[in-house]
Amino acid sequence: MMRYVLGRLGGVVLILLAVCLFTYLIFFKLSPDPAVMICGKTCTPERIDSIRDVLGLNQPLLTQFWDFLSGIFVGRDYGSVHCSAPCLGYSFQTNESVWSMITARLPVSITVAVGAAVLWLLVGVIGGLVSAVKQGTWWDRSAMGLALGGVSVPNYVLALLLQYVLVVKLQLLPFPSAVPFADNPLLWFESYLMPWVVLAVGYACLYARLTRSNVIDTLAENYYRTARAKGLNGALIMRRHALRPALTPITTIFGMDFAGLLGGALITETVFGLNGIGKMAADSIAKNDQPVIMAVTLLAAFFVVIGNVVVDLLYTALDPRVRVVSS
């Protein structure tokens, strides 16, 4: 088991290195000259040269990449400015340290992701479960119809609609802003409610359909019939012989979806003007702010890769068939 974990972690390091290299090549080599971008409109060739010098753009590609990589772990110097580890460079737009931009915005993205995940798991899994048990009834059909509709609605449409109705027309909620929980718990909740709902709707619908079909498949399993033939009581049959097998595969999908969201909910954060990683990504792309784009790409890759490993390890704990093969 230990060997398996170490092997997986080694794989993680390799994947992250590869992602680093590719994003570096794409954003620094295939994009417009960063020195020209930083220099702006009134610019002299001498100034461009000196910027190149400070950023190390005159160095061979491999040296530049090494500087970038080692900056993350031990820090680096840009001319006279020292950027302490973990150094992801400075924004071309605001000269802010990219690392501090991330640490300031990550809590917002995490809040959005966790709240939405709780919501969609509750609604999706319970909805799907009830649908499966009441298969073919009026409830099942309307819930699944609704789920199909929910998956089809783009979330920026839903976001604008909710905002118009709840904030502008009915004035039930304040306009969303990233209020820290400690400052004002009620306002915090009201601010994040719409982003949570908007983000959760699509996932909840997907999870409801998934849960329903998984549970229905499990109810047709021979071991479910065995459990009934054994005379076990309904709750025990449901818990052990229907829910556990039906919900285990959902943890995999949930892990991946959740990890993906930690890298920022681009559309939701942008529409609601929440200053999270997603909005930062959107802004940096619009302004071609390469160090920031690079950092958010790496961050997203980091979460997805780690999420993957966590899900795999969790799965070995949840499904004995996987556990034995891996040990």
Among 306, 297, 289, 118, smallest CA distance to 203 is for 118
Contacts of 210 (CB under 8 A, 6+ apart): 124, 128, 250, 253
Nearer of residues 48 and 232 to other proteins, judged by Cβ: 232
Calpha distance 214→128 (Å, rounded): 9
The answer to whether 298 and 28 are in contact (CB under 8 A) is no
Binding flag, residue 327, other proteins (CB under 8 A): no
Binding flag, residue 138, other proteins (CB under 8 A): no
Give, as one character, the DSSP assignment of residue 174: P
Binding flag, residue 229, other proteins (CB under 8 A): yes
Binding flag, residue 245, other proteins (CB under 8 A): yes
What minimum distance in Å lies between the beta carbon of 232 and other proteins? 5
Where helices occur in the chain by DSSP H, the ranges are 2-24, 34-39, 45-55, 61-74, 98-133, 138-152, 155-162, 185-219, 222-229, 234-236, 244-262, 266-271, 277-286, 290-318, 320-326
- Among 76, 209, 241, 279, indicate the residue that binds other proteins (CB under 8 A): 241
Binding mask 84-123 for other proteins (x = CB under 8 A): ----------------------------------------
Binding flag, residue 326, other proteins (CB under 8 A): no
What minimum distance in Å lies between the beta carbon of 128 and other proteins? 19
Using the contact rule CB under 8 A, the part of the chain among 57-65, 81-89, 140-148, 222-230 near other proteins is: 222-230
Residues in contact with other proteins by CB under 8 A are 221-223, 225-233, 236, 240-241, 244-245, 248, 319-321, 324
